[in-house]
Structure 1
Amino acid sequence: MIDLTPLSDLLDQFRDPVLLTGLVQVGAASILAALVVGLSRFRGLALERELGVALVRGLVQIVAMGMIVGLLLTVDFVWSGVILLFMMGGATWISKNRGEGLPGVVRVSFFAIVSGSGIVIVTMTFAGAIEATVRNLVPVGSMIIANAMQINSLALDRFKSEIESNRAEIEAGLALGAPPAAVISHHVETGVQASLIPVIDSLKSLGWVWIPGIMAGMILAGENPIYAALYQFVIMAMIFGAGGLTSMTSSLLIGKYVFTDAEQLREISHAGGE
């Protein structure tokens, strides 16, 4: 006999009157977003298509995730690992677009995101910072994976720009007999540093310029404000750790793929990343 309770619970969520309030709020936020799209078109920034697609995708994906999370609360804990791995695959697919044309970008991005975010998620679960339940592991893990994806994208984008802008310098170093690792090291470092700027700035401004959502939510839910602050720092530290591991792994590995076995710099194609 098939248990239809999870499906029934999901349908009950759609009947909740609070959804009407949510739709009104979405409408208000969409008006502001449409203003940005309109300004982009007016200023000739050519970003309206990307912005429009991103907004629609974001809404559809987050609502779908809300439905999935509702169902996840009824499944066994072991499925959380499968779900997080699926998220890492999706993060790889999105992130690799920023390094399009770099050789091995898909496999490098997948390995970097899985290892960077995976190490942090597993370690902090054993440390008790993330409860070993689907209700906690999936949402917190998804935050860590999403930020690792963004940082990986920034690292790939900057590294690709460095290679394209400094090809003559790199090839001159190789011609003089310098090993590939030496001529590329500065550009790898630049990519990693650039990718971590947003999260470093967020850490610097934490609690001074902004109060992040998790801390605010915990306080509104009646949690001890000091504990909420400590847990928010833990979240930010996890994001920084996962992002740092991801960007360093990605940049170091992609730095090896851009050279041939004969230690020559490969041409960067703009047709694909593999």
Structure 2
Amino acid sequence: MDLSSTFADVWTRAQEPVVMDGLLQVAAATVLATVVVGLSRWRKLQLETELATAFVRGFVQIVAMGLLIGVLLTVPLAWSGVILIGMVAGATWISRQRGEGLPGVTRISLLAIGVGAGIVIVLMTWAGAIEATVRSLVPVGSMVIANAMKINGLALDRFKEEIDSNRDVIEVGLSLGAPPQAVLAERVRDSVRASLIPVVDSLKSLGWVWIPGIMAGMILAGENPIYAALYQFVIMAMIFAAGGLTSVISSLLLSREVITEAEQLQKIDA
């Protein structure tokens, strides 16, 4: 791989007129985002710093990824595995913050996202739904990992809330000699259920309330609309499967981690 020619090609693409059009569109979107930040400040929601940081960070990261993809199209297939592993690590770091204070939250998040998203990516690549190429594995794999990250964050947040708000009930059950997993079964169930609400609602509204970007893009590119619809459903099914596996693994492992060897509930830091 000739790095100099690769970067020269990326630089040439960055100077194309369409990029300037994109920057003007970003400016328009930024105005809308600024209104939201301003409303947060006006209503004293205390979210403006997080909202502004997330917006700027998202812009920088997606542009960096766009530049990186230009380089990735020329690298060997093996690099896609390295990139996806890096994405899993990043997803772990971001989602773990929702469960700050839970014992073993980083390790469990890494395992849950890695296994949940990894199984789906490997299986669907083997099935041919994801082409075994860098240009296919990285974008589609990133969607699966990102949604697993979101669902893991929701599961951690809900599990922590369930433990905090039901500590007395849990401790009474444990003191009466009930098996820890039986005492925490409802907490696990509620965590999994709450974390899957967004993806379940997306499946319910698929093709009715909204037409997802991949399907719309394929149709605009001239692809058979029926095949575009089928492939979009496959993508949603992958997201659902990866999210479900991630949520279940994360919640079950946490339910074991919060119980001590003496079968007592650990104290969870705020």
- TM-score (norm: length of structure 2): 0.99
Unaligned runs of 5+ in 2: none
* Poorly superposed stretches of 4+, deviation over 6 Å: none
In the other structure, the counterpart of 1:265 is: 265
Give CA deviations for 1:143-170 in whole Å, capped at 9, x if unaligned.
0000000000000000000000000000
Give CA deviations for 1:183-221 in whole Å, capped at 9, x if unaligned.
001000000000000000000000000000000000000
In the other structure, the counterpart of 2:202 is: 202
Aligned counterparts of 2:261 and 2:65: Cα–Cα separation in 1: 44
- 1:10-89 aligned within 5 A: 10-89=10-89
Aligned counterparts of 1:70 and 1:268: Cα–Cα separation in 2: 45
In the other structure, the counterpart of 1:134 is: 134
In the other structure, the counterpart of 1:188 is: 188
Give CA deviations for 1:15-67 in whole Å, capped at 9, x if unaligned.
11111100000000010011111111111111101000000000000000011
**Residue type of the alignment partner of 1:90:** G
In the other structure, the counterpart of 1:216 is: 216
In the other structure, the counterpart of 1:247 is: 247
Does the C-alpha gap of structure 1 residues 137 and 2 become closer, same or farther in structure 2, counting only changes over 3 Å? closer
In the other structure, the counterpart of 1:151 is: 151
Between 1 and 2, higher relative CO (CA 8 Å, sep ≥ 6) is seen in 1
**Residue type of the alignment partner of 1:237:** A
Aligned counterparts of 2:254 and 2:181: Cα–Cα separation in 1: 11
Once the 2 structures are TM-superposed, how far is the Cα of residue 80 of structure 1 from its aligned partner? 0.3
Aligned counterparts of 1:115 and 1:200: Cα–Cα separation in 2: 21
Unaligned runs of 5+ in 1: none
**What is the aligned-residue identity percentage?**
68
Once the 2 structures are TM-superposed, how far is the Cα of residue 79 of structure 1 from its aligned partner? 0.6
Aligned counterparts of 1:9 and 1:188: Cα–Cα separation in 2: 50
**How many residues in Structure 1 have an aligned counterpart in Structure 2?**
270
Q: Which moved more, 1:179-188 or 1:9-18?
A: 9-18
Across the aligned residues of Structure 1 and Structure 2, the Cα RMSD in angstroms comes to 0.9
Aligned counterparts of 2:57 and 2:256: Cα–Cα separation in 1: 34
Aligned counterparts of 2:13 and 2:157: Cα–Cα separation in 1: 41
